[in-house]
């Protein structure tokens, strides 16, 4: 990385562009002094809490049928068929187009003709595999010898609710036709094979449904599915379906009881690892590259360690009941022998180990992974660093780039990187509005870290300057360095509201709009409470009307 991210349009306005990472233009949120914002639905202004300026301009479809993600499909096949491991069949499915921040967003989960064909081939293959494997067949059948009982048991796991009498009878008929249609000589195996490949192609398996009337409570079974796919990325267990049948998911308290257990499960950790990985777009870590002459300790194989280390940090925040403040400020890091020198440490061994860094390196955004990602082959990249933190932590919105933007100019004699960026995008240039006030100040706070994220005190022979001012919705704030900036952000309502917005979008599997504003600001308040954690925010969310009622969107 490391190109110019911002330039003037012909009309004198500003427009973004870069070398393929992010686009930046005039900010539309998080950086003004107003206490109202257009709600996107009419011309009225909607009051916002003090210190918050966020727009909610998503375009949800409020689908009653939300297709499973490929990860959820894999887990569902495994659980429905009681397999020992994930079948791996979804590895051949076409990737879903990006929609919103997260891969579970309803807008990206269409069933194309190509995907439907892949579903058909995959289900036929796994049905035959299970039916022709005596061990797998016996595990699936259990102790029952009654066809109707087997159908009802399998159907409840597949549909994530009890089958109706009509559905049961229809599947009994399919089972009984197996011997004629397949003719393997084992009528039971043939019946199972035909039923499995039919059930796994049902819309009630492929989609998670919410069929209640608008504003009405979801059924216990719908809540069970929504809860399990959100918190565990897998279908509801038999025990959770039993709880739904017993009415234990008909109240917010009952839902919270189940959620607490699920949040402590290993799958819960992985689900929120996926959320954070997508939020911070950590798939980009594989593209980190450095000039070998300037950074002899770097080699491409370290990219995997940098990614794993940052995921371990985020999992540490989740597992230890910590929240956004600690994500921004915790001294914990995970390093090994190869990455330790980047932190000025010396360790032995290839395993990543937990260490506490000094006060100069708080939180995720001073870790080598983030800093090296947002840097070029040789130089640090304050523009990309500023964009990422603005976008992901403060919900600053940037329109798409208008076209090809030229790179930053070559260095002038005795010019620091900050001086070069300022000369092209700072005060008095076309970037004076967005760059000098929003992007650059945040990025410059990290200029004491080089392109590999290693500390430095000089740049091109001059002392590094990390000072700046940043305008949050409650006013202009000065800071001396990255720790002061991150501490300022960690206490800002803007950051907590932004994190709440991301969490709600992930949990509801759709874009958020002004209709979700009250819920998001309630979670913001939870996040701001002393000692609050990601898990506490989730518990508040799953007990909310947004989660438990059918929301059909604006009428």
DSSP-assigned letters across all residues of 450-466: -TTS-B-SEETTEE---
User: What's the rounded mean pLDDT across residues 259-281?
Assistant: 96
Instruction: Locate the domains of the chain by residue range.
Output: 67-209
* SS3 annotation, 371-406: HHHCECCCCECHHHHHHHHHHHHCCCCCCCCCCCCC
Helices and strands (H, E) in the chain, number of each type: 23, 12
Q: Which of 7-16, 71-80, 481-490, 532-541 has the lowest mean pLDDT?
A: 7-16
Over residues 509-553, the pLDDT tens digits come to 999 998 899 999 999 999 999 999 999 999 999 999 999 999 887
pTM for the predicted model, two decimal places: 0.90
Q: If you search the block for the tokens 């202009």, which residue do you land on?
A: 476
DSSP lists the bridge partners of residue 476 as 471
φ and ψ at residue 335, rounded to 5 degrees: -135, 160
φ and ψ at residue 229, rounded to 5 degrees: -65, -30
Cα diameter, the chain: 85
In this prediction, residue 9 carries a pLDDT of 31
In this prediction, residue 426 carries a pLDDT of 60
DSSP of 413-461: TT--HHHHHHHHHSTTSTTTTHIIIIIHHHHHTTTTB-TTS-B-SEETT
Q: At what angle do helices 266-279 and 493-508 cross, to 10 degrees?
A: 120
Over residues 109-127, the pLDDT tens digits come to 999 999 999 999 999 999 9
In this prediction, residue 34 carries a pLDDT of 37
In this prediction, residue 140 carries a pLDDT of 97
Over residues 321-353, the pLDDT tens digits come to 999 999 999 999 999 999 999 999 999 999 999
CB atoms within 10 A of CB 212: 16
In this prediction, residue 100 carries a pLDDT of 87
Residue 21 has pLDDT above 90, yes or no: no
Annotate 119-139 with b (16+ C-beta within 10 A) or e (fewer).
beebbeebbbbbbeeeebbee
Closest to 229 (Cα-Cα) out of 207, 213, 248, 249? 207
Give residue 3's pLDDT band: very low, low, confident or very high (50, 70, 90).
Answer: very low
The proportion of the chain whose per-residue pLDDT surpasses 70, expressed as a percent, equals 88
Q: Which of 34-38, 264-268, 416-420, 455-459 has the lowest mean pLDDT?
A: 34-38
At residue 43, the 3 state secondary structure works out as coil
φ and ψ at residue 230, rounded to 5 degrees: -75, -50
Helical segments of 107-164, H only: 113-131, 134-141, 147-159
In this prediction, residue 51 carries a pLDDT of 83
Cα–Cα distance for residue pair 273/247, rounded to 1 Å: 31
Cα–Cα distance for residue pair 362/366, rounded to 1 Å: 6
Q: If you search the block for the tokens 């049948």, which residue do you land on?
A: 245
Residue 382 has pLDDT above 80, yes or no: yes
Q: Write down how long the chain is.
A: 555
User: What's the rounded mean pLDDT across residues 347-361?
Assistant: 96
Q: At what angle do helices 147-159 and 187-199 cross, to 10 degrees?
A: 20
Q: Which of 141-145, 229-233, 342-346 has the lowest mean pLDDT?
A: 141-145
Mean confidence (pLDDT) of the chain: 89
Q: For domain 67-209, give the fold.
A: 1.10.3130
What Å distances lie between residue 144 and 78, 139, 153, 200, CA to CA? 20, 11, 10, 21
Residue 555 has pLDDT above 80, yes or no: no
User: What's the rounded mean pLDDT across residues 367-378?
Assistant: 97
In this prediction, residue 423 carries a pLDDT of 87
* SS3 annotation, 10-25: CCCCEEECCCCCCCCC
Over residues 166-221, the pLDDT tens digits come to 999 999 999 999 999 999 999 999 999 999 999 999 999 999 999 999 999 999 99
In this prediction, residue 126 carries a pLDDT of 98
C-alpha 287 chain-centroid distance: 19
Give residue 23's pLDDT band: very low, low, confident or very high (50, 70, 90).
Answer: very low
Token pair recorded at residue 450 = 């080089």
Over residues 84-108, the pLDDT tens digits come to 999 999 999 999 998 889 999 999 9
At residue 301, the 3 state secondary structure works out as coil
At residue 255, the 3 state secondary structure works out as helix
In this prediction, residue 511 carries a pLDDT of 95
In this prediction, residue 87 carries a pLDDT of 96
With a CB cutoff of 8 Å and minimum separation 6, the contacts of 8 are: 14, 15, 430, 431
Q: If you search the block for the tokens 């990385």, which residue do you land on?
A: 1
Over residues 34-69, the pLDDT tens digits come to 333 333 333 334 467 888 988 888 999 999 999 999
Token pair recorded at residue 52 = 């918050």
Cα–Cα distance for residue pair 148/162, rounded to 1 Å: 13
Give residue 252's pLDDT band: very low, low, confident or very high (50, 70, 90).
Answer: very high
With a CB cutoff of 8 Å and minimum separation 6, the contacts of 170 are: none
């Amino acid at each position: 990385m490391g190109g110019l991210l911002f330039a003037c349009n012909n009309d004198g306005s500003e427009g973004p562009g870069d070398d393929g990472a992010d686009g930046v233009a005039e900010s539309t949120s998080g950086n003004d002094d107003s206490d109202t914002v257009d709600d996107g639905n009419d011309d009225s202004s909607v009051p916002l809490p003090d210190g918050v300026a966020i727009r909610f301009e998503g375009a949800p479809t409020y689908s009653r049928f939300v297709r499973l993600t490929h990860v959820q499909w894999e887990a569902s096949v495994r659980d429905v068929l009681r397999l020992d491991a994930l079948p791996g069949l979804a590895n051949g499915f076409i990737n879903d187009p990006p929609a919103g921040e997260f891969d579970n967003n309803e807008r990206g989960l269409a069933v194309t003709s190509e995907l439907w064909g892949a579903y058909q081939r995959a289900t036929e293959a796994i049905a035959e595999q299970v039916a022709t494997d005596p061990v797998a067949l016996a595990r699936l059948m259990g102790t029952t010898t009654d066809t109707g009982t087997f159908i009802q048991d399998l159907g409840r796991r597949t549909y994530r609710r009890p089958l109706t009498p009509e559905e049961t009878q229809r599947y009994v008929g399919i089972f009984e036709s197996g011997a004629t249609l397949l003719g393997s000589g084992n009528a039971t195996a043939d019946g199972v094979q035909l039923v499995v490949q039919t059930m796994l192609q049902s819309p009630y398996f492929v989609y998670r449904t919410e069929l209640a009337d608008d504003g009405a409570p979801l059924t216990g079974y719908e809540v069970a599915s929504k809860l399990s796919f959100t918190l565990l990325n897998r279908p509801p267990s038999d025990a959770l379906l039993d709880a739904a049948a017993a009415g234990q998911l008909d109240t917010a308290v009952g839902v919270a009881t189940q959620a607490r257990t699920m949040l402590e499960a290993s799958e819960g950790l992985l689900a929120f690892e996926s959320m954070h990985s997508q939020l911070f777009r950590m798939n980009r870590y594989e593209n980190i590259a450095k000039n070998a002459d300037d950074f002899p300790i770097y080699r491409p194989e370290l990219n995997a360690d940098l990614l794993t280390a940052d995921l371990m940090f985020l999992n540490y925040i989740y597992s230890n009941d910590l929240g956004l403040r600690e994500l921004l400020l915790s001294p914990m890091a995970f390093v090994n022998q190869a990455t330790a020198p980047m932190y000025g440490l010396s360790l032995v061994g290839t395993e990543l180990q937990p260490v506490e860094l000094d006060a100069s390196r708080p939180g995720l955004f001073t870790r080598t992974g983030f800093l090296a990602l947002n840097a070029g082959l040789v130089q640090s990249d304050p523009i990309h660093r500023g964009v990422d933190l603005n976008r992901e932590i403060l919900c600053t919105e940037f329109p798409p780039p208008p076209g090809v933007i030229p790179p930053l100019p070559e260095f002038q004699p005795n010019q620091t990187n900050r001086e070069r960026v300022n000369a092209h995008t700072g005060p008095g240039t076309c970037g004076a509005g967005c760059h000098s006030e929003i992007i650059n100040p945040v990025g410059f706070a990290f200029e004491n870290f080089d392109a590999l994220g290693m500390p430095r005190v000089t740049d091109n022979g001059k002392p590094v300057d990390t000072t700046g001012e940043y305008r949050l919705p409650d006013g202009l704030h000065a800071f001396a360095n990255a720790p002061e900036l991150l501490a300022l952000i960690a206490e800002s309502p803007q950051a907590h509201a932004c994190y709440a917005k991301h969490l709600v979008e992930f949990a509801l599997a759709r874009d958020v709009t002004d209709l979700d504003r009250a819920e998001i600001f309630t979670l913001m308040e939870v996040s701001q409470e002393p000692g609050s954690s990601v898990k506490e925010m989730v518990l508040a969310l799953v007990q909310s009307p947004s989660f438990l009622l059918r929301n059909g969107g604006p009428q």
